Amino acid sequence: MVEEQPRVPDFLTGISVRLIATIILVIMLVEVVIYLPSVSNFRANWLSNKLAIGVVAARVLDVVPDAMSLPETLTDRLLTAAGAVAIAYRRDGQSQLIERTDVPMPMAEVTADMRHDDPVSLIGGALEMLFFGSDRTLRVVGTVPGTNALVELLISEAPLRADMLVYSRNIFILSLIVAMMTASVIFVVLSRSLIRPIRRLISNMMAFRREPENATLINAPSPRRDEIGVME
């Protein structure tokens, strides 16, 4: 029975591919950890910008006795700028409402309370919208700076979710490019310092196994002082 001679693994079956895959995987996992607070901040900033317009509407309502006395052109402009169907202003137990008259008032299906700005709540809200959102009506709640008054907006979550998906896609593409470039650089460095010397040692050992009497196959040690040098 002829003993099967071992062969030096090629690129696809050797440690090289595993090394590249491991580096890319680790970098992508790190990017996920960075992505979660990043996309939650993107959502929070988007909603805060809408709330800022709601605060402007609240300031306007502060100087008028009744929201019905506001010109329709002004209320339409505020609602359009906020992308809202309605803006509610609640203070001192009273409420004032600005709403569109050309569409029926929708029921809020999900609430984004911007008073709860801890990282867990923000990340949870962002993930919930990404995975389960569609075209639901979003109730956004925030406070008027310097007061205890509340501002509430009724908006469609579709524009925000679309922006979040584009943002996520761009982050993914950028992360993949960074991971591949980093993996390539690390691989080149490790290939020259570790993989090539190891493959050369393996080739010499296998050749010496086939012809142990051939003194020319004895590997000449290099001046390296690390583990590879000791092996040589």
What is the residue extent of each domain of the chain? 25-161
Q: What is the pLDDT of residues 22-64, one digit of tens each?
A: 888 888 888 889 999 999 999 999 999 999 988 888 888 877 7
Helix axes 119-132 and 158-190, enclosed angle (nearest 10): 100
DSSP-derived pairing of the beta strands 137-143 and 110-113: parallel
Q: What is the pLDDT of residues 199-228, one digit of tens each?
A: 777 777 776 666 666 666 566 666 666 666
Contact status, residue 69 vs residue 90, Cβ threshold 8 Å: no
Q: Which of 141, 140, 139, 123 is nearest to 131 (CA)?
A: 123
Give the pTM.
0.74
Q: Which of 46, 43, 181 is nearest to 35 (CA)?
A: 43
DSSP-derived pairing of the beta strands 150-156 and 137-143: antiparallel
Q: Which residue has the higher pLDDT, 98 or 37?
A: 37
